[in-house]
Amino acid sequence: MALYIRGMRGPLYKPLGLDLEDGVARRWRPSVGTVGFVCLAATILAGSFATALMGQPSAGWSTVLLRRRCRRLPRRPPNLDCDSAGNARTGTGHHLRLGYGSTPRGNVGFRVEDPQSFRQASGTAHIPDNELIEPGPYGPLPVRGADGRRPFDVYAGAWSGKPGARIAIVVGGLGISQSGTMNAIRTLPADVTFGFSPAGNSLDRWMQEARRGGHELILQIPLEPVGYPQVDPGENTLTVENATAGDLHALHASFAAITNYVGVMNYMGGRFTSDPTAMEQLLSELGRRGLMYLDDASSLRSVASDTAQLQNVPSAVSDLVIDRAQNPRISGANWIRWNGSHAPRERPSASHQPST
């Protein structure tokens, strides 16, 4: 390749080295670096053009969850977070996946995939995923899988995908009354989330029945209320003192009562949810295990929502306890009034929750 420049004379061109005595520029040959740069630019343009015409390659690609690679990334993608095990996750609830090209060229691309793809099939929703369980002193404990999957994603309830306002209804206190639990499972639609008490009976049986019916499950954990121990939520209550000291044995005992749940919900806990240090310990453990936290909003001093955001833990806050008064007429009026004022919003609502 050669470049010729003619007829450039005078002081205007002297600073550029183009004041030529014979009127003809000497033949200029580009350096090896220049040629390489031009070839690279041409290759990128050709690749971009091919991608635009043919789309992203699909055949021959294997996609695996990004794990233990956070330290190797020279520049982390937006919203990327890494847990203590080195697994990558994003603050939006998505998992970051790493795709490798089918040819050994070292090509690596990032794709963000919808957690819906991790959801259990309806036919096996009642079976615990062995990759999301670890043995504990009280029984099986929920945990992130080695591939980065979370119980929050795998055990999530189905969603139609239709746009519009979404309302979550949680019926709590299940597992205590056998007849009440059976009635809820048999009569309520699959869109209703069930909150099980770890103090209940036949929980594994009820879990399987509820999951077969398409219900999402949440575990109600007893937390220290105001006036404890005179006001006692029951066995394995997690106290502020123990949580602050890092003693989570009571929490793990509750965890082991059941499987296949997406997260936890406070049972009482007026004092606990208002203590920042205690809530940091609790939410840190939930985040490490891939669980969400639902605050029933029974305490106006709760710091759960802010703490969950700081720790990048999925969370939600209830807007209303529908049946705080055990009266069908009042409950119905509460629901109608709430539904009319909150329809454009997307917030959960607990239908039954004891006072703190």
pLDDT tens digits, one per residue of 101-120: 333 444 444 445 555 578 99
Nearest to 178 by CA among 200, 209, 211, 204: 200
Q: What is the pLDDT of residues 1-39, one digit of tens each?
A: 433 344 445 554 455 454 545 545 555 566 666 666 666
Give the separation between CA 342 and CA 57, rounded to whole angstroms: 44
Task: Give the integer Cα–Cα distance in Å for 46 and 205.
Answer: 59
Identify the DSSP state of 3. Answer: B
Give the tens place of pLDDT for each residue, 301-328.
Answer: 999 999 999 999 999 999 888 776 565 5
Strands 292-295 and 263-268: parallel
Q: Is the pLDDT score of 67 beyond 70?
A: no
The DSSP element (H or E) to which 268 belongs, if any, is: strand 263-268
Residues 6 or more apart in contact with residue 169 via CB below 8 angstroms: 191, 192, 193, 322, 348, 349, 350, 351
Taking 60 as the threshold, does the pLDDT of residue 91 lie above it? no
Cβ neighbors of 67 (< 8 A, separation 6 or more) are: 85, 86, 87, 88, 146, 147, 148
pLDDT at position 245, please?
97
Residue 119 burial class via C-beta count within 10 angstroms: exposed 0-12, middle 13-18, buried 19 and up: middle
C-alpha angle 173-115-262 in degrees, rounded to nearest 5? 15
Kindly state the percentage of the chain with pLDDT values over 90.
Answer: 52
* Exposure letters 204-220 (e unless 16+ CB within 10 A, then b): eebbbbbbebebbbbbb
State the Cα–Cα distance between residues 179 and 186, nearest whole angstrom. 11
Task: Read off the pLDDT of each residue in 207-221 and give the average, rounded to a whole number.
Answer: 97
In the prediction, which pLDDT does 38 show?
62
Residue 245: Cβ within 10 Å count: 12
Residue 166's pLDDT is 76
**pLDDT at 232 (0 to 100):** 97
For residue 167, the model assigns a pLDDT of 81
Q: Render pLDDT for 271-301 as a digit per residue (tens, 0 to 9).
A: 999 999 999 999 999 999 999 999 999 899 9
Neighbour count for residue 25 (Cβ, 10 Å): 15
Q: Is the pTM of this model over 0.75?
A: no
Query: 158 pLDDT exceeds 90?
Result: no
